[in-house]
Amino acid sequence: MQNPCVTFHRINAGSDRALIALSIDGRAVTGLDGDTLLSVLIMHRGALRRAEAGGDLRAGFCGMGACQDCWITLADGRRVRACSTLAEAGMAIVTNLDHGQ
Amino acid sequence: MGNETETPRIAIVGGGPAGMRAAGLLAAAGLRPVLFNEAPEPGGQIYRRPPPPLRTVLSPARLYGPDAVRAMALHSDFEAVADRIDHRSGTLVWNIMKQEHGGFRLLHQDADGGQGAHNCDAVILATGAMDRILPMPGWTLPGVWSMGGAQVMLKGQASLVGRRPVFAGSGPLLYLVAWQYAKEGGRPAAVIDASTFAAKLRAAPMLAARPAVALRGLAMAAALRLRGIPVIEGAHADRIEATDTGMRVHWSSSTSSGQIDGDAVAIGHGLKSEQQLAELLGCRSRHNAESGQWLIETDPEGRTSVAGAYLAGDMAGIRGGHAAEFAGELAAWALLADLKHRDNASRRAVLRRKLSRQDRFRRGLEQAFPFPQHRIASLPDETIVCRCEGISASALRRAITDWQPADVNRLKAMSRCGMGRCQGRLCGQIAAGLLTAQLGRTPGDVGHLRAQAPIKPIPGSQLIVEKGAVE
Ligand code: FES
């Protein structure tokens, strides 16, 4: 699932930030050193999760750890807030985005 | 407060300008305060620093604009005494309670996920603020951000949430963020400002308490217009929809209406205080008619109704980062004086005067950018009010009719609105507004949603709860 309309635009294209390899639902993706998991998910999937109530797509809201809209799961079982967690090499994000409605 | 000969143990919660200034003064007084900061770096939201790999991309001048000098002074003053502060960054204080024999106990989750408890004799709470949101149909769609969120992506991630976002709402952030986007290569599709030109004019005498800041807002609006960006005053965003190519915002004013296409939307009507920890302590609060918000009661120096607990910064009412620095220092002076550790009455008087100027300016802002309380009663039925639990305005209206709840906490129990992960941070005031409108009650009668510990989800316990639910 890719939500084509929603994405971030980096204002520093061409900067020399290191690439980070991680995965979303088993598929390899790259982020940049300093990206939050929220940024990685928006860039690659345009959303973070489907809401428990109703199944509609959610993509974060406040970006500052207040609204709690961005909780996601990592393959190792950890639950993290995507907007306040920096991407690290090897992280495996598991979403429910493909579960459909 | 413990043995007089022992050094008093002081905790500060919040690493924004208020917490940083409080910590700086207490450190200079030799008290080695413990500073709990949920963020990895000091600075709060306003002076947020990007993660290290992004520092070369975003200079302070780009990050903070006209506040760059102030931001750098704050950061460098803090660094100068950092070795005399026990700075616990990445640490969430999720509960606080009074100890039987005086003092407080804080429960916290550390950066590595471990749990801890911390006892102290006095505490300065400075947990800041978040966006104040008036929901509308479509506000939960991907691509819709809070105003602060759109700014955080810029300051913290060097990213724009869209190239052509629509900015809608009111308050100083509205023009500031739109202007920052325009400067960083975006082209805002429009600025939809709920406040009217007349309201701003009426507030002008009060805004003159800080002429430079007031002019800055006007200059940004003018600069946006000059770039051909539509600025629509006295208009409300009524509805957001996702189209094949982006986002569409339907707006209306008393005289006209229209729609704007963009590729993202940022919404917000100013800020609201994050006061959960003070509530857990039992600090007295009251409804403030000017802002339409419940605020924790403090004296002019930040003392709450609970002895030994002080408040500073936006947590005690929205006055902005500039005032937060004064308030943080003042609360620390008040605390030092109350402990009979050290006093500087003339400095306290200076800070009180500075803050009362800021107060006048704040009242001006509230007049210029009033929260459109009247729009709550007419929210379309399909509007999601509680985004955590997916509760619509119609579900709330039904619950109100069926149960006639005495206050908003009863309404929460009947409807689940506010029971989700955010604890009603976003929906609480809206649910209260629906209740007052429908039953003809006053805001004082319906109250506000009570904070509960943990004030934010703690992943470990949440995992257990959710696993239990799935199995
Ligand atoms: S986006 Fe609001 S808490 Fe992460």
- At residue B213, the pLDDT reads 76
Q: B45, A64: Cβ pair inside 8 Å?
A: yes
Handedness of CA B81, B85, B91, B97 (dihedral sign): negative
SS3 category, B52: helix
Mean pLDDT of the A73-101 span: 92
**Ligand 1 pocket, CB under 6 A:** A 60-63, 65-70, 81, 83
Residue B459 has pLDDT above 80, yes or no: no
Helix (H) or strand (E) holding B435: helix B428-439
Would you call B11 helix, strand, or coil by DSSP?
strand
In the structure encoding, which two tokens stand for residue B80, read together? Answer: 């100068």
State the distance from the centre of ligand 1 to the C-alpha of A70, rounded, in angstroms: 5
Given a cut of 50, whether residue B41 has pLDDT beyond it is: yes
Q: Identify the closest residue of chain A to B152 by CA–CA distance.
A: A63
Residue A52, domain extent: 19-94
Task: Say if the Cβ atoms of B158 and A10 lie within 8 Å.
Answer: yes
The answer on pLDDT for B232 being more than 60 is yes
Which is the closest atom of ligand 1 to the Cα of A70?
A: 4
What residues in B contact A33, CB-CB < 8 Å?
53
pLDDT at B24: 98
pLDDT of residue B204: 82
Listed residue (B40, B160, B52, B24) closest to B91, CA to CA: B40
What is the nearest CA distance from B177 to chain A, expressed in angstroms? 14
Closest chain A CA to residue B268: A62
pLDDT number for residue B468: 35
User: Which residues does chain A have within 8 Å of residue B45's beta carbon, measured at their own beta carbons?
Assistant: 64
Phi, psi of B319 (to 5 degrees): -125, -5
Kindly report the nearest CA distance between residue A98 and chain B, in angstroms. Answer: 16
Question: In chain B, pLDDT over 70 holds for what percent of residues?
Answer: 96
Q: Quote the distance between the C-alpha of residue A52 and its chain's center.
A: 17
With a cut of 80, say whether residue B463 has pLDDT above it.
Answer: no
B43, pLDDT greater than 60: yes
Q: Do B142 and A57 touch (CB under 8 A)?
A: yes
Q: Which long-range contacts (CB under 8 A, 24 or more apart) does B228-233 make?
A: B229/B178, B229/B182, B229/B187, B229/B188, B229/B189, B229/B190, B229/B191, B230/B189, B230/B190, B230/B191, B230/B260, B231/B190, B231/B191, B231/B193, B232/B190, B232/B191, B232/B192, B232/B193, B233/B193, B233/B195, B233/B196, B233/B197
| Among A36, A67, A80, residue to substitute to test ligand 1 (most atoms within 8 Å of Cβ) | A67
Q: Which has the closest alpha carbon to B186: B140, B122, B155, B229? A: B229
Quote the CA–CA distance of B92 and B456 in Å, as a whole number.
8
The SS3 assignment for B110 reads: coil
pLDDT in tens, B129-180: 999 999 999 999 999 999 999 999 999 999 999 999 999 999 889 999 999 9
> Is pLDDT of B36 > 90?
yes
Nearest to A80 among B50, B52, B459 (CB): B459
Contact B146 A3 (CB under 8 A): no
Fold adopted by B133-269: FAD/NAD(P)-binding domain (3.50.50)
- Mean pLDDT for B105-133 is 96
Q: Residue A15 — pLDDT band, cuts 50, 70, 90? A: confident
State pLDDT tens for residues B414-426. Answer: 999 999 999 999 9
**CATH fold of B10-130+272-343:** FAD/NAD(P)-binding domain (3.50.50)
- CB count in 10 Å sphere of residue B201: 11
Please give the residue that has the higher pLDDT: either A5 or B199: B199
Mutate-to-test residue for ligand 1 from A37, A42, A58, A69, highest number of ligand atoms within 8 A of CB: A69
Domain with CATH 3.50.50.60 in chain B: 10-130+272-343, 133-269
Q: What is the CATH number of the domain that holds A60?
A: 3.10.20.740
Q: Which residues of A touch B160 (CB under 8 A)?
A: 8-9, 11
Higher pLDDT, B412 or B210: B412
**Which residues of chain B neighbour A58 with C-beta distances below 8 Å?**
140, 142, 387
**B416 with B389: CB under 8 angstroms?**
yes
Angstrom distance (rounded) from CA B95 to CA B276: 9
pLDDT at res. A99: 82
Query: Ligand 1: which atom is nearest the Cα of residue A67?
Result: 2
Task: Report whether pLDDT(A1) > 70.
Answer: no
Backbone phi and psi for residue B411, each to the nearest 5 degrees, phi listed first = -60, -40
Q: With CB atoms and an 8 Å threshold, state whether B157 touches A8.
A: yes
The answer to the question of residue A6 being in a domain is no
Whole-model pTM above 0.90? yes
| Residue B466 in this model has a pLDDT that exceeds 50 | no
How close is the Cα of B425 to the center of ligand 1, in Å? 12
Task: Test B148 with A64 for CB contact under 8 angstroms.
Answer: yes
Q: Is the pLDDT of residue B184 over 70?
A: yes
The CATH architecture of the domain made up of B376-446 is Orthogonal Bundle (1.10)
Q: What percent of chain B has pLDDT over 90?
A: 81
Q: Evaluate whether residue A13 is within a structural domain.
A: no
How many domains does chain A divide into?
Answer: 1
HSE-up (13 A, CA, CB side) for residue B363: 11
Backbone dihedral angles phi then psi of residue B47, each to the nearest 5 degrees: -110, 40
pLDDT at residue B462 above 60?
no
pLDDT tens track for B354-385: 999 998 888 888 888 889 999 999 999 999 99
Residue whose C-alpha is closest to residue B326's, from B298, B302, B299, B294: B302
Residue B256 CB contacts under 8 Å (≥ 6 apart), including other chains: none
pLDDT tens per residue, range B272-302: 999 999 999 999 999 998 889 999 999 999 9
Q: What is the mean pLDDT of chain B?
A: 92
For residues B115 and B99, what is the distance between their CA atoms, to the nearest angstrom? 19
> Mean of the per-residue pLDDT values for chain A?
91
* Bridge-based pairing state of the strands B122-125 and B309-311: parallel
- Distance (Å) from CA A66 to ligand 1 centroid: 6
Chain pair A-B, CB pairs under 8 angstroms: 145
Task: Return the pLDDT at A5.
Answer: 77
Residue A57 at interface with chain B, using a CB cutoff of 8 Å: yes
